[in-house]
Amino acid sequence: MKIIITSGGTSEPVDNVRKITNRSSGLLGSMIANELVAKNDENLEKIYYISNKNAKKPYKNDKIKEIIAESTEDVYNALENLVPKCDAIIHAMAISDYKVDYVSSSQLLTQRLAGKSKNEIEKLLISNDVKIANNDKISSYNDDLFIRLVPTPKIISKIKEWNKSILLIGFKLLSNVREEKLADVATNLLRKTNCDLIVANDITKITKERHPALIIDKNSNVVKVNTKDYIAKVISQYLLDNSELSPTYKYYSV
């Protein structure tokens, strides 16, 4: 069995000093890798651990190959190559939903947009006319800046296109929602992206000690866990044992 784990978070450059990133540390991904190795299963052939440079890494082991990817594009390229060759993917990395298109300013926007119609403004906002010309470091002395962000490709939707038989474990992070809402959104994403299993969590509930999550499979079986450690255990057992979220997992529920 060859397993891919994506872990940590991507970042997207604003210029060559500044970047937009997220709070993901890679701790959960590293714990899943460690747990898989610790099970000492002869069926486990290789783990490809894709993460950003600063992400937490698993313990060194011959079965683990580390791959560094910083931007969404880096992850996309690595997965396009690996997914067809692997049996399962645990896609725990927080992928930037947006990347930087250009940088503008109030001054420039005011100059260019004054007196324009809706249609003209729509066109101008995607043109070169409102961009501050700069590929290097943007000066610290502007009165303000406007950064336009555009969506990155949804990698999770590509995975089953690249390999329809790969086992896909996805993650969905929401903020400050009720458990029912979290389950709903995660189940919808699971269907849309053809995930086999999805881990749904809420950033406002995650602390150093606790990491509450709902783990949901295609048949809407739900397991509720409370720590990163249990998330890692449930996923490893699911992958290496029987690929189903059986009622015995209730052991892990709160």
Q: Closest approach of Cβ 12 to a second copy, in Å?
A: 10
The rounded distance, in Å, linking the Cα atoms of 13 and 1 is: 35
Residue closer to a second copy (CB basis): 16 or 248: 16
Q: Closest approach of Cβ 140 to a second copy, in Å?
A: 4
| Exposure b/e, 61-97, CB count within 10 A at least 16 = b | eeebeebebbbbbbbbebbeebbeebbbbbbbbbbbe
Q: Closest approach of Cβ 49 to a second copy, in Å?
A: 19
Q: Pairing state of beta strands 197-202 and 213-217?
A: antiparallel
Residue closer to a second copy (CB basis): 86 or 183: 183
Q: Closest approach of Cβ 132 to a second copy, in Å?
A: 12
> Other CB atoms closer than 10 Å to residue 186's CB: what's the count?
25
The rounded distance, in Å, linking the Cα atoms of 31 and 29 is: 5
Q: Closest approach of Cβ 106 to a second copy, in Å?
A: 5
Which positions ≥6 away from 217 have C-beta within 8 Å?
196, 197, 244, 245
Residue closer to a second copy (CB basis): 135 or 219: 135
Contact criterion met (CB below 8 Å) for 99 and 139: no
The rounded distance, in Å, linking the Cα atoms of 100 and 64 is: 33
Q: Pairing state of beta strands 64-68 and 46-51?
A: parallel
Residue closer to a second copy (CB basis): 15 or 41: 15
Residue closer to a second copy (CB basis): 80 or 97: 97
For binding to a second copy (CB under 8 A), which residues are involved? 11, 14-23, 54, 94, 96-98, 101, 106, 109-111, 113-118, 121-122, 125-126, 136-137, 140, 142-151, 173-176, 203-204
Q: Closest approach of Cβ 141 to a second copy, in Å?
A: 8
Residue 21, Cα to own-chain centre: how many angstroms? 12
Residue closer to a second copy (CB basis): 24 or 34: 24
Contact criterion met (CB below 8 Å) for 200 and 213: yes
